[in-house]
Amino acid sequence: MGLGIDFMVVLFFALGLVLLYFTGWLLLAPLKFIMKLLVNGLLGGLLLLVINLIGGFFSVTIAINPLSAVIAGYFGLPGIILLLLFKLMLA
């Protein structure tokens, strides 16, 4: 009274589902990383602009160049603080 379904077919179906899951995970992980970098980059650039607007009253500004944009974008708020401390140490 079997259903006519071979055990190997069920096993290969399960293996296919597992492989599909891992393939989806491999494709989604870099996308999450890129989105995180994009959001951090936008927030870092906005924070650099705000620091320069407020710091203009106190003669403390951070130059917006590719290096400071990368540092602010990758590290976020700690990167901005690092750039500000570095600027104050050199002044």
Q: Which residues of the chain have pLDDT under 50?
A: 1
| Alpha-carbon torsion angle 49, 52, 57, 59, nearest 10 | 180
- Nearest in space to 68 (alpha carbons), one of 51, 55, 54, 56: 51
pLDDT score of 3: 65
Q: What is the DSSP letter of 16?
A: H
Report the length, in residues, of the chain.
Answer: 91
pLDDT score of 69: 78
| Relative orientation angle of helices 7-55 and 77-90, to the nearest 10 degrees | 40
Rounded to two decimals, the pTM is 0.61
